[in-house]
Amino acid sequence: MSQSFLLSAKAVTLGVIEIARLSDAEAYAQFKAIRFAENGGEPFCPHCGCTACYTFTSRPLFKCKACEKQFTVTSKTIFNSRKLSLQTILVAIKLFVDGVNGKAALHLRRNLYLTYKTTFVLAHKLREAMASIQADHQITGEVEIDGVYIGGHIRPANMRADRTSKHAGAAQRRRCIVTFKERGIGGRSRSFVLKGESEAQPLIRDLVHPSADVVTDLADTWGNLLLDFNSHSTVNHTLGMVIDGIHINNVEGYHSRIRRGERGVYVSLNHKHAQNYADEFSWREDHRRVSNGQQFQSVLGRAVVMPASTRWVGYWQKRPKLGAAPLAA
């Protein structure tokens, strides 16, 4: 039996202690080098793109010679308006990517000695960066498609006579994560939260290349995919997991890891943010056999070039819009 990648020496190339020991100047230099990598590590204006900038000696601040606007290494990035130190942000990214099945905000809170609200928003900002990475790819080649349902569990009553069907009332809270996953080493995946598998057809046509060879189970939902792709094979799970070499074991294994993340790490996935978690699981799946140092660089490198988050900046300070009904007491 082959050794798990996580047990190999290749899996660990960066330790959290290496980042925690960085001085203020070293953390700033590392962040600056990645933020302005397009210009050889030298600052350029995020407002107008001008590379001619003044550097303040008294504080970490720059000023554009063209538009005369001031900016920092985190201006116009996902960390815009930050209050955390750069060392804390770097350590948070390292801890977050190291969670094989996910990293709960409460766990980050204990590690970083921050408030839950702070770690909650920070984790979701990192998920936005992961989602941006996943959106770069179109799925092609041999593609397995399947769905897995999350949420909707009802705790049974103590007395048997008081119990109802475990599915009664759960349908409204259940959501389906439909995944398109390429086979082979380096294969990419995309996951989407829907009410049911039947809603996945438009997404499949948009994101899976027409030359793909699609493999699914026998659910009626996938019945007409042959019309849109090179081939469509199906496996009858009532007869076995692999029938004549046809299977969807890769996507089934991925969904089992989603289950582990849902039940063992996050406990429950809020439907309002379920797509954020689906994007995170997809990123973790695609980077399972990549060292944690590369994972760290991947998320940090994307986070510092993404625009400021319109959803998470000031998330806990939001107020009702003018004319809206007041919040309930």
Please tell me the predicted confidence (pLDDT) of residue 132. Answer: 95
Percent of the chain with pLDDT over 90: 65
- Structural domain contains residue 34: no
Asked if 236 contacts 242 with a C-beta cutoff of 8 angstroms, the reply is: no
- Structural domain contains residue 124: no
* H or E element, residue 51: none
pLDDT at 324 over 60: no
Between 54 and 315, the higher pLDDT residue: 54
* pTM exceeding 0.95: no
Please tell me the predicted confidence (pLDDT) of residue 326. Answer: 46
**Which range of residues forms the domain containing residue 233?**
137-153+167-287
pLDDT at 329 over 50: no
- Structural domain contains residue 206: yes
Asked if 117 contacts 189 with a C-beta cutoff of 8 angstroms, the reply is: no
Please tell me the predicted confidence (pLDDT) of residue 175. Answer: 87
Comparing CA positions, the residue from 300, 257, 303, 305 lying closest to residue 282 is 257
- Structural domain contains residue 56: no
- Structural domain contains residue 205: yes
Please tell me the predicted confidence (pLDDT) of residue 27. Answer: 93
Q: Where are the alpha helices (DSSP H) in 208-303?
A: 249-260, 274-286, 292-303
- Structural domain contains residue 187: yes
DSSP annotation of 306 reads S
Sign of CA dihedral 201, 202, 208, 211: positive
Q: How many domains does the chain have?
A: 1
- Structural domain contains residue 89: no
- Structural domain contains residue 216: yes
Per-residue pLDDT reduced to its tens digit, 135-165 = 988 899 999 999 999 886 667 778 877 776 5
The mean pLDDT value of the chain amounts to 88
- pLDDT grade for 57, boundaries at 50, 70 and 90: confident
Exposure string of 228-249, with b = 16+ CB inside 10 Å and e = fewer, is ebeebbbbeeeeeeeeeeebbe
Token pair 């496996």 is found at: 235
pLDDT at 319 over 60: no
Please tell me the predicted confidence (pLDDT) of residue 327. Answer: 43
Token pair belonging to 8:
């190999």
Please tell me the predicted confidence (pLDDT) of residue 328. Answer: 42
What is the CATH classification number for the domain harbouring 222? 3.30.420.10
